[in-house]
Structure 1
Amino acid sequence: MNIQNITALASQLQSLGFDNFGSLLLKRICFKPDNFYLNHKIAKDKELLEFRFYFERQRESDAYMLLYYDVTLQQKNIFEELMIAGINIADLEKQMTTINWMSAFNIDERKKLDPNDKTTWEVEAKVESVVESLAALELDEKGKTVAAALKVKFWFGTPYHEIFGSISAVKNKSDISQRFYFSENSSGITVDEAYRFLQNKWLEKQLQLKKKQADSTSESENDETNSTTGSGLLKKRRINSSLKGKRNKTNQD
């Protein structure tokens, strides 16, 4: 095993602000995959940074390299809304906390089933209730994001992936993301640098949104003004036509 390579990668990550990655790298590299990802979260004030590192094995040297990482700045807590599609999010999250999901997804487990004894199928009833609530959330645009986040929070690392495949990620519209690449001659973007970049990107997005709203308001006001002016001109034309008709009638008399 190329311990030097693992140590070098861990040192590289540490220089960027990510500590104690050595064992995480070791556990993945020992399986000698062609590539792999590492996920990591860092709290910044009331915001959350989500990192996803991509490593790839080099065929020439058999060593692994960090090629890039994706980072997402979560500006808004997606669980802060109380009700979505008739589902109480706090209650659903609490309900999911009470279930041992590792055991729930162990579909090969054999145990006694007695239709008259609810305790023998109580867990499965809870699971069904949660799944139905998640399905209801996924019918709503905002609910899709919450449902995906809850699945990742409680089902990541369970046999869910073996049974149903990967969990489809739904991006929260308030999130800001960026990919940062690495090259042999660059040290890479640190945590703080990535955070400042995403904050600036978020601020730019807010300014553009405000400008768009202001332009939209201005256009609406212009439309109303034009509509009022048009109505006034039309009314004036009708009055003039009426007066002209009366004059013609008088001349004929």
Structure 2
Amino acid sequence: MEASTFIRFEDDNGTIRYGEPTKESLAGDLIGATVEVLQGDPFQGLKRSGEKAKVGVVLCPLESTPIVLCIGLNYKKHAEEANLTIAPYPVVFTKPPTALAGPYDDIHVHPDAASMMDYEGELVVVIGRDAKNVSVANALHYVLGYTMGNDVSARNFQLPDVSGGQFCYAKSFDGFAPMGPAIATTKAVSDPQALTYSTRVNGATRQETSTSDMIWTVAQIISHLSRGTTLRKGTTIMTGTPSGE
């Protein structure tokens, strides 16, 4: 993998391509930015082509995912804020592959799910090769890279008296897992517990955190999820939402 960060996009001709953005272009929405075209596949390796292209449409950096695995209650400040007890193991729920969406895609919400829509900004881990029974010490060797995601939720289907405590239905509608715009590979991110990020809604900051506040580290999460279960390459893991409004 030559590129440390990559996006997936449509060029001006409507051709879907991979590209390496500059740090300056990543600071914006990438629309209209000129990027270095990458050849190959993210899981086999992307190589610089020497060609440049203009970004017309920013797509989800992954064409597909076998499954979206999600961790609930994984930030200490969030647990304190909500006055919730931390369980011995991570809370795990899933979203189907059809929940995957691009960072700027419109989400067409079913009318029955529209009354209590909510957002959760989260660090997302992308598994780069099949993993099973992985130790904490070796877990990060199975990571392709990291991106950001929104754990979109229809809270009216998540309330305990309605759902019985399950999360999946409320979070599994089509488009409820937008991710991107870029994947930063392990070449760019050596320590996933030393990152900071924020969630903004209409320009207002609602969440801001360091991943050092995680209860379970990325390596611990991968090890736990791979216990007796194969994590296929392309599996995405939403690692939990931090405190905030």
For Structure 1 versus Structure 2, the TM-score category normalised by the shorter chain is under 0.3
More strand by share: 2
* Higher RCO, Cα 8 Å, sep 6+: 2
TM-score, length-normalised on structure 2? 0.21
TM-score scaled to structure 1, two decimals?
A: 0.21
- The structure with the larger Rg is 1
